[in-house]
Chain A
């Protein structure tokens, strides 16, 4: 049984300047795994993530043959059902914790609140669970951090708090939209390790949206490469180095490398045919 199945998902932004077809015929299924959606800016990767939670703005038209979480049809279910789905079953980690944490509530209370929305437990129990969760995301002094406000903690710490907040209701799927690109490299690895440990422990499936092929290659099981709103290639992460689609290869090769320095970096020539071909698998 797939946790999430998406078939021919199409998203169109309707604006004054005309319609913009941002996602075209995207299909994939998610089992208990770490799936990466990779692409450059404008490829539609974040839009796919938002469409799964129905978070797109009202002027957006979303259609799909299937968009189903377990038994629930995400496209047709009521506003109440989708609210129950968000957070409890599918949650989302955004790029920058500075913008996704409430600045006037202490981080501990925000985690506790995330739990209390979905479970009927007392304030004290929630507090204890939140502190335990802070410990799980490797925060050394959870009691102290519990009472701090978002602006008092660093970016890496903020992203750990976000992870704690998203994991604590024990959802089935976490959608992480560039969760580490606002962080320093040394912190990135810690945050990823924590995320990895938690989702494996709690048996959570992950959709990891990123522009960073190198990172995804190490971290995920399977990769969807998106270009111009389409999936151009679906490939196992450890096979990325032998990818067959020229776009994927181009992305891999255009990165400057420490080990093999080239005087001139290869530059991609984009083929309009990529926009119509069936995805490679």
Chain B
């Protein structure tokens, strides 16, 4: 579904030259939930930003559903791929009502039956239509993240990019959102590419995980291997040991 082939990305300014991603190759199968785990600065979010078209000037080849990203516009990709962001406060426009936030993608696409679709999308994420006239600041963090997920789902995409979707939330709310993401994954046969720094969260949701360090993928492991400790790279071992010691 997503195939990334030798992706590299450099940032250079007048004074210095920095390699953000180097030679990333990975394949996400259809219907899979794939995780990217690593510490800050490891480049995990940068991969999402390349996919989402926020970074320009990367080298290599990225394909989503068989179409190269370099050859298609964001608008063409919007039916295939959507994104959920880390910060539920910044992801929703503060001066748009929930109705407008969910309506926008439908208006842009010129779709009909908007009111019904909006209500259905809200119901899908466990909110009812009383939320429609409200503004984001009147919602709790978890409710906001639900709206953000509804917005990503409303165009029925097949791929969803998840950028630390629960790290800004309280643990009890995190559990609700993780459950919601898992149930949407089952019901709609979605493909997830999820970024997180939390191995527990990644292992809960994802079947395979790529461990990243300093802009490179050091290892791709399955959930079973991760849980049983069958990892080879010392960096992964360290991360895993740390995660186990916390439980």
Question: Which residues of chain A have a CB within 8 Å of any CB of chain B?
Answer: 40-41, 155, 184-186, 189, 211, 213-215, 218, 250-251, 254-259, 261, 263-268
Contact = CB atoms under 8 A, between A and B. Distances in A.
User: What's the interface size class on B, roughly?
Assistant: 20 to 34
Contacts of A185: 39, 197, 239, 242-243
Contacts of B178: 256, 265
Nearest to A185: B242
Given A215-B246, A265-B179, A268-B172, 6 more contacts: A184-B39, A186-B238, A218-B245, A218-B246, A251-B171, A264-B182
Contacts of B174: 254, 256
Interface in B50-65: none
Given A258-B243, A259-B247, A264-B179, A211 B204 contact: no
Contact of B203 (A215, A256, A268): A256
A41 B141 contact: yes
A265 B244 contact: no
Contacts of B245: 218
A266 B175 CA distance: 7
B171 A267 contact: no
B170 interface: yes
Contacts of A155: 40
Contact of B171 (A211, A218, A261): A211
B159 interface: no
Contacts of B173: 40
Between A155, A250, A255, A256, the greatest number of chain B beta carbons within 10 A of the residue's beta carbon is seen for: A256
B160 interface: no
Contacts of A211: 170-171
Interface in B160-186: 170-176, 178-179, 182
A-B complex: 9 closest residue pairs judged by Cβ atoms: A256-B204, A254-B175, A40-B170, A265-B175, A184-B39, A256-B200, A214-B246, A268-B172, A254-B172
A254 B171 contact: yes
A226 to B, nearest CB: 12
A213 to B, nearest CB: 8
Contacts of B33: none
Contact of B179 (A250, A255, A267): A267
5 contacts: A251-B172, A256-B200, A256-B204, A258-B203, A265-B179
Contacts of A268: 172, 175
Contacts of A256: 174-175, 178, 200-201, 203-204
B242 A189 contact: yes
A262 to B, nearest CB: 8
A254 B223 CA distance: 19
Nearest to B168: A41
Contacts of A40: 170-173
B240 to A, nearest CB: 8
Nearest to A187: B39
Nearest to B141: A41
Contacts of A213: 171
Contacts of B141: 41
Contacts of B182: 263-264
A110 B49 CA distance: 38
B172 A267 contact: yes
A175 B15 CA distance: 41
Contacts of A218: 245-246
B227 interface: yes
B214 interface: no
A254 B175 CA distance: 6
Given A40-B170, A265-B178, A265-B204, A258 B239 contact: no
B199 interface: yes
Nearest to A265: B175
Interface in B219-244: 223, 226-227, 238-240, 242-244
A215 B247 CA distance: 9
